[in-house]
A and B are shown apart, each in its own frame.
Chain A
């Protein structure tokens, strides 16, 4: 790292921004197989937060790959870098006082844990969409499982690349008696957690 770099202090910091927004900045990191409902939950959560007057923003793995991460492919090292960059941006958003909802497969525990480390504190909330491969494949919203089964995509998570489920996530959402809860129900569960931890109260 070059030594020609100095930290710049700004008088307006996270505390002031949080006061302005009446919320505490944090990262809600939604992880799970393709088709497990990550983006659907992210949408629902951001909508429910908005109705409560809270500012959130969704960083979707797919959206970012069209912009910041457009130089990255799906090779192993690019996947790691993809997650690292999303983590760094999420950290900036949380510092800005936003409730940043990151919605990515993020299949490797090591990479998710590295993002948690980056946040330095209790503001990393890991949400595991624990939906069965069978359910995800039946949905196949982007037609990717079909392509993966036909061998047209290699290294597809759940088919020929592993998904390492979280060991200590803050919230786990799963099917109940074979039925997936509605997006709003799942969003409410995340909101209840945020409320209990003080992220949504007046600062």
Chain B
């Protein structure tokens, strides 16, 4: 359920960091967010009591080309923010509180010199999602950026191995991948999720998990006929023979995105649209939006 995001009310910390070009940047470290479930019981309003700490500006020294930092952090006590016990409704585990991490997303982004986000590549089977994901991760690596690919198939061997292809399991498959991708983005990783994800509602749910802009939906706009002619896994053949039921594009719908960030449209000319070129197209988007800097 939607929660209420409350900003911990302690002074924000400013970090002075000599940049690699010798200039200096003042970078705010974001406050930790405590997210509390909205309470339908007026009496159970969660309260935060912030203890103001005497903080002072810190300077990070010895920034190497790998952007590793040695910094003296102010004494951030784990008790900086005191929480009242939260009583949730009967459908939620009551005995849970948020724990604040003193290293925040901003710190990790500074270390990695990039901003975490989720590149969600969607499209029919055989549209080239995994191919573009591979090319993208390689191209970003060559720029010194850290990515990780969550492929629908890879995840089904591990985290989602208990799920089938029934409708409700497909939804759960996407939900879990969305949640994991969100965690990766919070780490600062550029997380590439590459899965058919045919239903608009499920993709939009994943989008809603992330802050505005951090969900980059990439639509592999390739006609069914082209995908089927490729048929890299032989699945269309099996689906046409009736050996697989509910196969997307054959007897289950694919709902194209209405408002995605990037469309990679098949032109029929492989020279003008190689996987590498498609990857570069996505990279331009990321660059323009500032995801390839700390």
A12 to B144, CA, bound (A): 12
Q: Does A108 contact B (CB under 8 A)?
A: no
A95 to B155, CA, bound (A): 13
Contact among A6, A22, A74, A143 with B68 in the assembled complex (CB-CB below 8 Å):
A22
Which residue of chain B has the shortest Cβ distance to A95 in the bound complex?
B148
Q: Does B293 contact A (CB under 8 A)?
A: no
A56 to B104, CA, bound (A): 11
Q: Does A167 contact B (CB under 8 A)?
A: no
Contact yes or no, B141 A55, CB < 8 A: no
Name which of A10, A47, A183 has the most chain B CB atoms within 10 A of its CB.
A10
Contact yes or no, B141 A7, CB < 8 A: no
A161 to B186, CA, bound (A): 34
Which residue of chain B has the shortest Cβ distance to A147 in the bound complex?
B95
Which residue of chain A has the shortest Cβ distance to B133 in the bound complex?
A10
Q: Which residues of A contact B238 (CB under 8 A)?
A: 4
Contact yes or no, B187 A98, CB < 8 A: yes
Q: Does B154 contact A (CB under 8 A)?
A: yes
Question: Which of A64-72, A121-129, A172-180, A188-196 is the contact stretch?
Answer: A64-72
Q: Does B22 contact A (CB under 8 A)?
A: no
Contact yes or no, A57 B146, CB < 8 A: no
Encode contact with A along B100-126: 1 for CB under 8 Å, 0 otherwise.
Answer: 111100011001100000000000000
Contact yes or no, A53 B70, CB < 8 A: yes
Contact among B69, B98, B146, B158 with A88 in the assembled complex (CB-CB below 8 Å):
B158
Contact yes or no, B183 A68, CB < 8 A: yes
B231 to chain A, nearest CB (A): 12
Contact yes or no, B146 A4, CB < 8 A: no
A62 to B35, CA, bound (A): 12
A85 to B161, CA, bound (A): 10
Q: Does A73 contact B (CB under 8 A)?
A: yes
Contact yes or no, A8 B154, CB < 8 A: yes
Contact among A5, A60, A74, A98 with B156 in the assembled complex (CB-CB below 8 Å):
A5
Q: Which residues of B contact A40 (CB under 8 A)?
A: 78
A183 to B95, CA, bound (A): 24
Cβ < 8 Å to A, chain B residues 45-99:
64, 66-73, 76, 78, 85, 93, 95-99
Contact among B95, B133, B138 with A144 in the assembled complex (CB-CB below 8 Å):
B95
Q: Does B127 contact A (CB under 8 A)?
A: no
Q: Which residues of B contact A57 (CB under 8 A)?
A: 108, 183, 186-187
Contact yes or no, A47 B176, CB < 8 A: no
Contact among B3, B100, B146, B233 with A20 in the assembled complex (CB-CB below 8 Å):
B146
Q: Does A58 contact B (CB under 8 A)?
A: yes
Q: Which residues of B contact A8 (CB under 8 A)?
A: 130, 133-134, 149, 151, 153-154, 194
The 10 closest A-B pairs by CB, nearest first: A53-B68, A88-B159, A68-B179, A96-B148, A8-B151, A39-B99, A12-B137, A62-B96, A57-B187, A88-B158
Given A67-B182, A93-B183, 12 more pairs with CB closer than 8 A: A7-B154, A8-B134, A11-B134, A11-B137, A11-B138, A43-B99, A47-B76, A51-B71, A55-B111, A66-B96, A92-B148, A95-B148
